[in-house]
């Protein structure tokens, strides 16, 4: 997050509850982005003038004593998990009375030294402590050093394998990222900070500011530094060009030394998700799980009630045989398997469960104003249906069009007339999910009428798949506001054929500005969406763009000096078509 987030005033501490998804038999677990965490509501009144809403961003996951700890912006605490699947919130206020600001651990730095977990929040001043804990599950923290003598926004610490500690930071559309060595003994800076690098949007198209990458309104921002070392190379990662936009992504530069000089990796951005239901994959961190598999955690964009309304997403990641850092966002907001051991993240972990109800008929108990029912099935987190009330009995029904095999359901609640600011105690959702083959005789599929957890993006992996056509979500209790849904998403398989291979795919790269291209193809009558795969080598098509409801796409994210390679595939309820031959575009 940027320094514009700083506002004065202290906030109160509240509690939150644990969200428990449902597992399939045999312990096979899947997850679906956005992550189903009990996100707090923005604590900043100025950010809630268009409606109070949940918000977080700038996440980091760290493995500590065999468990995962997840920190993110302004949550008044953090989560821990034994398995990257179920998360428990630990309330903790990290501001002290003398800190007259809203931002409680904004874009936090989290790192491990020996047997100790340490945390430091963003600030432009030199008055924040570095906190330490050897028992973070119990919320036991004390100051490791107070104050830390570096005012760092979007900080990130990195412990090199020679034992030297470094700090990276920066969040600006004027200034570069900075780096500095930090004493392991005193946790204070050594020497002077070093300027590392800036953005170069004249060369790299994806770094241009704006939803349409046109540098409208502002110059692009660079923020969210994170360092990873792999096979002797230092990979300094950063977010750009703006957290409000679908193209928010993470880039990377590489060096032999922790403070540079750095050279951009050819595959950039390495974490990129500009299409689909929930978009954005910027400002995050890269970490390893207990089996050594790499993951990338990122910020996802909502940006409806405020530019800084956001969620979190988790992607398989890694380094290929040539040391190229990648993040696999193919089908990035569809169900994916979590690994049970070492895994090759270049191989998809997508379940193959397709979206069954995109733009299909819906019925609702009531509708508030222009928040129409079809917005719950249009694959946009930015639009939502709202009932007139939050009362028990309000419902939304979706028709799959034919009897299909349903494996999982994702329920994405929207905030309409919410009353909360900040993290709340004891909030929860309750509902019943019904299914029917004919729309007349209904069976109870999932009963969460006694649930006491906060599940804003509840994801249900059915214990056994069900053959059905109609599904109805009946509200029992909302934590606040109206019963509203940005996405009731049904995943599984239809009974028909996969789409035919896409025809007429062409990429028109301009001579005037080689950062941009116009992609066109013949519309497919048997497809609801398309995946465009793009990369800087025919065997490194590591970026994926999911396109709904169109037979063209304006791709403006290229390095003007490199050739690019493209292929496309079509999607429907039954599966995925063969890809087109890879095309080189110079």
Q: What is the pLDDT of residue 277?
A: 98
Determine the Cα–Cα distance for residues 249 and 268; give it in Å rounded to an integer: 9
Both tokens of residue 474?
């009946």
Percent of the chain scoring above 90 in pLDDT: 92
- Residue 179 and residue 182: Cα distance in Å, rounded? 10
Any bridge partners for residue 143, and if so which?
131
Phi, psi angles (nearest 5°) of residue 168 = -120, 145
Give dist(CA 125, CA 351) in Å, integer. 47
Instruction: Please answer whether residues 120 and 131 qualify as being in contact, where contact means their C-beta atoms are separated by less than 8 angstroms.
Output: yes
Q: What integer pLDDT is reported at residue 208 of this predicted model? A: 98
**56-337: what fold?**
Tachylectin-2; Chain A (2.115.10)
> What confidence tens digit (pLDDT) does each residue in 251-263 have?
999 999 999 999 9
The mean pLDDT of 203-225, rounded to a whole number, is: 96
Peptide bond into 34 cis (omega under 30): yes
Q: How confident is the model at residue 27 (pLDDT cuts 50, 70, 90)?
A: low
Identical fold for domains 56-337 and 354-493, yes or no, is no
At 577 the pLDDT is 98
Burial 128-137 (b: 16+ CB within 10 A, else e): bbbbbbeebe
Q: Report the sign of the C-alpha dihedral through residues 382, 412, 328, 301, in that order.
A: positive
The yes-or-no verdict on residue 20 having pLDDT over 70 is: no
Domain 354-493 falls under CATH 2.40.50.140: no
Distance from C-alpha of 20 to C-alpha of 87, rounded to nearest angstrom: 7
What is the distance between the alpha carbons of residues 291 and 309, in angstroms, rounded to a whole number? 33
Model confidence pLDDT, tens digit, residues 95-119: 988 888 888 899 999 999 999 999 9
Tens of pLDDT, residue by residue over 298-324, are 999 999 999 999 999 999 999 999 999
Say how far apart CA 141 and CA 571 lie, in whole Å: 49
- Which residue has 């490194």 as its token pair? 540
pLDDT of 6 > 70? The answer is: no
pLDDT higher than 50, residue 3: no
Q: Cβ contacts of residue 122 below 8 Å, gap of 6+?
A: 1, 103, 106, 107, 108, 152, 153, 154, 155, 171
Q: Taking residues 17-33, what's their average pLDDT?
A: 57
- 13 pLDDT higher than 70: no
Eight-state DSSP code of residue 52 = B
Q: Please determine, for residue 525, whether its predicted confidence score (pLDDT) is greater than 90.
A: yes
Give pLDDT tens digits for 128-138.
999 999 999 99
Residue with tokens 């109805």: 472
Q: State pTM to two decimals.
A: 0.94
* pLDDT tens-place string over residues 416-470: 999 999 999 899 999 999 999 999 999 999 999 999 999 999 999 999 999 999 9
Residue 512, φ and ψ in degrees, nearest 5? -70, -40
Burial label, 419 (beta-carbon count in 10 A; 0-12, 13-18, 19+): exposed
In 494-585, the DSSP E strands lie at 506-509, 517-520, 529-535, 543-548, 552-555, 564-572, 575-576, 583-585
Mean predicted confidence (pLDDT) in 119-126: 94
Query: Are 205 and 215 contacting, i.e. CB atoms less than 8 angstroms apart?
Result: no
Nearest-angstrom CA–CA distance, 448 and 452: 9
Query: Is the per-residue pLDDT at 18 higher than 80?
Result: no
Segment (H or E) for 410: strand 395-413
pLDDT in tens, 153-180: 999 999 999 999 999 999 999 999 999 9
CATH placement of domain 503-585: 2.60.40.10
Q: Give me 82's structure tokens.
A: 């034994």
Q: pLDDT band at residue 217, thresholds of 50, 70 and 90?
A: confident
Q: Is 177 helix (H, G, I), strand (E, B) or coil?
A: coil
**Cβ–Cβ contacts within 10 Å for residue 245, how many?**
23
If one counts every other C-beta atom within 10 angstroms of the C-beta of residue 229, the result is: 13
Taken as a whole, the chain contains a residue count of 586
Peptide bond before residue 269 is cis, with ω within 30 degrees of 0: yes
Q: What are the sequence ranges of the domains in the chain?
A: 56-337, 354-493, 503-585
And the tokens for 149? 């003598």
pLDDT at 100: 80
């Amino acid at each position: 997050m940027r320094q514009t987030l700083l506002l004065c005033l202290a906030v109160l501490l509240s509690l939150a509850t644990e969200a428990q998804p449902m597992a399939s038999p045999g312990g096979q677990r899947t997850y679906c982005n956005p992550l189903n965490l009990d996100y707090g509501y923005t604590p900043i009144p100025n950010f809630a003038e268009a409606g109070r809403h949940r918000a977080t961003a700038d996440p980091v996951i760290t493995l500590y004593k065999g468990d995962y700890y997840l920190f993110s912006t302004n949550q008044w605490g953090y989560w821990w998990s034994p398995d990257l699947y179920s998360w428990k919130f630990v309330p903790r206020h990290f501001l002290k009375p003398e800190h007259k600001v809203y931002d409680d651990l904004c874009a936090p730095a989290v790192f491990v030294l020996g047997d100790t977990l340490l945390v430091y929040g963003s600030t432009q001043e030199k008055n924040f402590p570095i906190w330490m804990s050897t028992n973070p599950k119990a919320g036991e923290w004390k100051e490791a050093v107070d104050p830390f003598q570096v005012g760092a926004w979007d900080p990130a610490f990195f412990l090199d394998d020679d034992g030297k500690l470094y700090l990276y930071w920066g969040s600006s559309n004027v200034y570069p990222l900075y780096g500095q060595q930090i004493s392991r003994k005193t946790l204070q800076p050594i020497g002077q900070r070093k300027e590392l690098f800036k953005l170069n949007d004249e060369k790299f198209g994806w770094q241009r500011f704006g939803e349409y990458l046109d540098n409208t309104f502002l110059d692009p921002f660079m923020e969210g530094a994170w360092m990873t070392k792999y096979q002797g190379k230092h990979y300094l990662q950063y977010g750009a060009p703006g957290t409000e936009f679908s193209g928010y992504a993470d880039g990377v530069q590489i060096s032999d030394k922790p403070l540079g000089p750095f050279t951009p990796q050819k595959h950039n951005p390495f974490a990129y998700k500009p299409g689909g239901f929930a978009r954005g994959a910027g400002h995050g961190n890269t970490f390893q799980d207990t089996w050594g598999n790499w993951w990338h955690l990122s910020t996802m964009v909502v940006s409806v009630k405020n530019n800084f309304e956001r969620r979190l997403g988790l992607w398989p990641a890694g380094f290929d045989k040539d040391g190229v850092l990648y993040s696999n966002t193919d089908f990035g907001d569809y169900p994916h398997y979590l690994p049970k051991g070492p895994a090759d993240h270049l191989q998809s972990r997508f379940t193959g469960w397709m979206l069954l109800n995109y733009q299909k008929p819906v019925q609702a108990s009531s509708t508030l104003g222009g928040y129409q029912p079809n917005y719950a099935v249009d694959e946009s987190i930015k639009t939502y249906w709202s009932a007139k009330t939050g009362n028990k009995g309000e419902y939304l029904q979706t028709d799959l069009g034919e009897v299909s095999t349903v494996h999982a359901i994702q329920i994405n609640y929207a905030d309409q007339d919410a009353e909360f600011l900040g993290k709340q105690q004891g909030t929860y959702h309750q509902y019943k999910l019904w299914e029917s083959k004919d729309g007349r005789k209904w069976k109870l599929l999932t009963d969460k009428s006694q649930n006491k957890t906060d599940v804003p993006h509840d994801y249900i992996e059915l214990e056994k798949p069900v053959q059905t056509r109609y599904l109805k979500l009946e509200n029992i209790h909302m934590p606040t506001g109206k019963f509203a849904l940005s996405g009731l998403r049904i995943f599984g398989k239809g009974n028909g054929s996969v789409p035919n291979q896409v025809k007429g795919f062409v990429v028109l790269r301009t001579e005037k500005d080689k950062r941009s291209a116009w992609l066109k193809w013949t519309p497919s009558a048997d497809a609801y969406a398309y995946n465009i795969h793009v990369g800087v080598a025919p065997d490194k098509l590591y970026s994926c763009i999911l396109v709904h409801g169109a037979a063209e796409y304006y791709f403006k994210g290229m390095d003007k000096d490199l050739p690019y390679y493209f292929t496309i595939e079509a999607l429907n309820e039954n599966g995925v078509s063969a890809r087109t031959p890879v095309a080189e575009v110079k």
